[in-house]
Amino acid sequence: MNNIKKAANEIKKAKYLLINAGAGMGVDSGLPDFRGNEGFWMAYPIAKKLGLNFQALANPAWFDINPRLAWAFYGHRLNLYRNTTPHRGFEILKNLPHNKFVFTSNVDGQFQKAGFDDKKIVEIHGSIHYLQCSVPCGDEIWENNEEVEVDMEKFEALNILKCKFCGSVARPNILMFGDFRFVEKRVEVQLARYEYWLSQIDDKLVILEIGAGKAVPTVRYESEKIKNMFNATLIRINPREADGADIEIPLRAKEALEKIEAYL
Ligand SMILES: [Zn+2]
pLDDT digits (tens, 9 = 90+) for 107-150: 999 999 999 999 999 999 999 999 999 999 999 999 999 999 99
> pLDDT above 90 covers what percent of the chain?
95
Sheet with 126-133, edge to edge strand ranges? 142-143, 126-133, 170-174
CB 163 within 8 A of CB 170: yes
Hey, what CATH topology would domain 32-83+129-174 get? SIR2/SIRT2 'Small Domain' (3.30.1600)
User: In the predicted model, what is the mean pLDDT of residues 12-17?
Assistant: 98
Q: In whole numbers, what is the pLDDT of the chain averaged over residues?
A: 96
Residues above pLDDT 70, as percent of the chain: 100
Query: Residue 195, exposed/middle/buried by CB under 10 A (0-12, 13-18, 19+)?
Result: exposed
Domains of the chain, residue spans: 1-31+87-125+184-264, 32-83+129-174
pLDDT of residue 38: 87
Crossing angle for the helix pair 253-261 and 88-95, nearest 10 degrees? 40
Q: Residue 240 Cα, ligand 1 centroid: separation in angstroms? A: 42
Answer whether 0.95 is exceeded by the pTM. yes
Query: What pLDDT sits at residue 1?
Result: 58
Tell me how far the alpha carbon of residue 74 lies from the centroid of ligand 1, in angstroms.
18
Q: Could you tell me the distance, in angstroms and rounded to a whole number, from the CA of residue 183 to the centre of ligand 1? A: 12
The CA-atom distances, in angstroms, between 190 and each of 21, 39, 78, 123, 187 are: 15, 31, 21, 8, 5
Cα–Cα distance for residue pair 164/162, rounded to 1 Å = 6
Residue 108 CA from chain centroid, whole number:
6
Note the CATH number of domain 1-31+87-125+184-264: 3.40.50.1220
Q: What protein residues have CB closer than 5 angstroms to ion ligand 1? A: 133, 137, 163, 165-166, 168
* Residue 34 per-residue DSSP state: -
Q: Is the pLDDT of residue 181 over 80?
A: yes
* 82 DSSP assignment: H
The answer to whether residue 197 scores a pLDDT higher than 80 is yes
Residue 169 C-alpha to ligand 1 middle, in angstroms?
7
Run of H or E including 219: helix 218-230
